[in-house]
Chains A and B, each alone.
Chain A
Amino acid sequence: MAKVAMTVNGKAVSGEVEGRTLLVQFLREGLGLTGTHVGCDTSQCGACVVHIDGAAVKACAVFALDAEGASVRTIEGMANADGSLSAIQQAFQDHHALQCGFCTPGMVMSAAALLAENPKPTEREVREYLEGNLCRCTGYHNIVKAIMAASGQEVAIAAE
């Protein structure tokens, strides 16, 4: 066991972990932040995406010890300071971009990273950026729509 310390959602945290403990395990089991999900064991599904020092990262592909000293943001840290939904979260609700909610934390974290990098993406760019995030419920239509809306663009794909 080794000691690890980092900042999660703005708070300093620390804990004892094994060398093999993944960041996602440390978040879920060590810190009780169960909003970050585990959907696979091959780093393919994106349910575990968090931000490490601002970049979207799959938390199942990082050892907890490797996040020593880092600033980590999870879905629990995404709402506005007053607890209301952030623009991206609100767009997800407004456009019914989630059903079972299991992929949702990872989707929101990826979407936030995308819009930070590319504030006005095209529909194609959104779809390509989400390559690493699987959703089995929505067929992606409304997720893409929500992200376009959160970017402040006309929702060109609103077909209904």
Chain B
Amino acid sequence: MPKDSGIGASIKRREDVRFLTGRGRYTDDINLRGQAHVAFLRSNVAHGRLRGVDTAAAAAMPGVVRIFTGEDFAAVGGLPCGWQVTGRDGQVMKEPKHPVLAHGKVRHVGDPIAAVVAETYEQARDAAEAIAVDIESLPAVVDMAAALAPGSALVHDDLGTNLCYDWGFIEDSKAAVAAAIAAAHHVTTLDLVNNRLIPNAMEPRVAVGDYNSASGESTLYTTSQNPHVIRLLMGAFVLGIPEHKLRVVAPDVGGGFGSKIFHYAEEALCTFAARALNRPVKWTAQRSESFVTDAHGRDHVTRIELALDRDGHFLAIRTSTLANMGAYLSTFAPSVPTYLHGTLMAGNYKTPHIYVNVKAVFTNTVPVDAYRGAGRPEATFQLERVIDKAAREMGIDPVEIRRRNFVDAFPYQTPVAVAYDTGNYHATMDKLVTIADLAGFEKRRAASAAKGLLRGLGLNCYIEACGIAPSHLVGQLGARAGLYESATVRVNATGGIVVMTGSHSHGQGHETTFAQVIADMIGIPEAQVEIVHGDTANAPMGMGTYGSRSLAVGGSAMVRAANKIISKARKIAAHLMEAAEGDIELKDGKFRVAGTDKSVDWGAVCLAAYVPHNYPLAELEPGLEETAFYDPANFTFPAGAYACEVEVDPETGRVTIDRFAAADDFGNIVNPMVVDGQVHGGIGQGIGQALLERAVYDANGQLLSGTYMDYAMPRADDLPSYVVDHSCATPCTHNPLGVKGCGEAGAIGSPPAVVNAVIDALHRGGHAHVTHIDMPLSPARVWAAMQG
């Protein structure tokens, strides 16, 4: 029986009502009295020396209030990087300054040169176009291999190299891996590209800076997934504003997918300008600006080798990757190809020896950072593609080769540092076989063939490390932040509850699902619980939402705070009923004395806490409000198995996805409807990567795919309906809810399924020479591959 309330119920989302009636409050909907508007002048060359910025004519134009250039920011900090990776040689990564406005050089198309503040946006934009900029064009560094060749132009002259770091993981395993590969019965090698993507949350970024000259307090309204992180980074490292004088608000945010984690120049500019001008200052990105300023994702070039024994057991994996950092280090960029990628290379399999090498490279392109999945899709893609290729080479069924190598005893210590606490990979594979109706494939294939189409079936597994992350561990790995989460549970005198969480919802539905958890714990209706997020003035210091961490980490903090509340309320109830605390049970919103019919309602206990006439004041403070922080003991490890069926038109190379099925293990589920939606969205983005999307730079560093006319976003008629299942649940062993996180799974698990399916279709269609096609699998690429 589906539940209709509490944990496990598909409760309809309360936030929907405002979104469906046009009453959401996104950052661009905020307009402050006296607000001025910002337009940026951005570099239209990828690499150049900035010889002069003449703002005189522009400054005299109608409505212009002030023009800021790099000089104005020479004295403040650069945009900081939150993770320091140490390379194989023991040297820390190269970390160039990332100025708020370009200074000395411009390093990518879109790099901001000047910011014009004017009375209206149109005036600001007109004036920005009138600024005279003298740029000496320099050769653009675009291709990663060329960037590392001797004699390449340098993105940052002072570094003397375009290599950010050369990372080996685990360096001490390198020799053993080489020996295992040399001695193996069979080695499958695959060269592949993980295509560069542009996140494209539908809401463009916006920043509104405000300054209160009476209190000296700055406020920034911004499209962020983590307002406290922005407050810390911008306040402490860029502008030198102490946190008690800086408030950051991220109201309704229209999607993030990672791209709104990072601290961006425009946020600092608007906050700085509001203080300098003593009036509110607003910037709203045009979509064409988003394309050249939002951090991009992926962009890895990889060689992977998989060594197997005669029976198809995996013996060793070795990978070598070039990872694009773009022109500057975005907030978490260095961690993505390293600790979010190398640690996942074991996948769902028992491979005794693994070695991962990553060289991170600066280029004259937009910075690259975390995008839905962040490092884990890159790991999964190469692993699941090479397994498919190996299975074909060795004549083993793709399901069978995976089953032969599954990790099947937990906890499992991988050779790449992380330890999986729990899972059941055979169960999700069994589930997949059923929900994808693999048994019916042959019949469907014949039907496709009758239409002249090649049908293929692709499968893969995935594992991800979510619930990011144990602070002591990430600290050792170079993180400059803790990755705990926080919550304050405030119970009011009449029993209503407000939870202030450091997690942030930008589509995930926390206002509904977090309330379900609290309501379930106490046994009161969800309507009595309100979730507040996104404002540093309310919520305790929190790290925000990314890495599928909200419920696993933020939810755990909330549960911990609620448990403190319940324990105090139990003491109050014991006092009210003159019973021993140990005899008090909480059920359905009532405290009962066990074994009696005595009870007191939740509301009466709350009232007593705030009107403490009959109250144990000697032992207990009045009031009912608790804060908790939760730092996870380990990552969580959601895992699953995905299957895709495609039809390829041999005449045109066009790929159509006919069926897509996903069997996931997310541990316990709070709201199945919301979880389904998260998986759907992730699959949609993964299919977008596999078939459609690619950020393309030309040799001069111009972004060719800079609008929705050139960058192929998945549309409704590009995608199929999905069959999703999350009934194979092995609850996480180390957080109170037993939850693992579901936000990224779809984007991680789907690209290899699609590519494996297309390769399978081509093989069945007689194109056995095709072993790989790089994403996106456009008709042109598929057709060309078929021609040999």
Contact = CB atoms under 8 A, between A and B. Distances in A.
Interface string A118-145: 0000011011101101111111111111
B508 A99 contact: yes
Given A42-B709, A99-B509, A102-B255, A34 B22 contact: yes
For A28, A99, A100, the residue with the greatest tally of chain B CB atoms inside 10 Å of its CB is A100
Given A131-B716, A131-B717, A138 B252 contact: no
B203 A102 contact: yes
A93 B12 CA distance: 7
Contact of A131 (B202, B709, B715): B715
Contacts, number: 196
A93 B725 contact: no
A130 B723 contact: no
A131 B716 CA distance: 6
Contacts of B253: 100
Interface string B713-740: 1111101011111000000000000000
B723 A93 contact: no
Contacts of A145: 721
B690 to A, nearest CB: 13
Contact of B202 (A34, A47, A79): A47
Given A104-B19, A139-B681, A159 B721 contact: yes
Interface in B239-264: 252-255, 257
B17 interface: yes
Contacts of B257: 136
A3 interface: no
Given A42-B709, A85-B20, A157-B721, A138 B680 contact: yes
Contacts of A143: 716
B616 interface: no
Interface stretch (B346-354, B355-363, B527-535, B671-679): B671-679
Interface-central residue, B25, B286, B683, B708, by most chain A CB under 10 Å = B708
B643 to A, nearest CB: 13
Given A35-B21, A75-B21, A159-B724, A139 B683 contact: yes
Given A34-B26, A47-B202, 12 more contacts: A42-B287, A45-B708, A98-B13, A98-B20, A100-B254, A101-B16, A124-B717, A138-B681, A140-B680, A140-B714, A159-B721, A160-B723
Interface of B: 12-13, 15-26, 28-29, 31, 122, 200-204, 252-255, 257, 284, 286-288, 506-509, 673-674, 676-678, 680-685, 687, 707-709, 713-717, 719, 721-725, 746
Interface of A: 18, 20, 28-29, 33-42, 44-45, 47, 74-76, 78-79, 85, 89, 92-94, 96, 98-105, 108, 123-124, 126-128, 130-131, 133-145, 157, 159-160
27 contacts: A29-B31, A35-B21, A39-B287, A44-B709, A78-B20, A78-B21, A93-B16, A96-B13, A96-B674, A99-B507, A99-B508, A100-B253, A100-B254, A101-B15, A101-B16, A101-B20, A102-B201, A124-B717, A127-B717, A134-B708, A136-B255, A136-B684, A138-B680, A139-B685, A140-B715, A142-B680, A159-B722
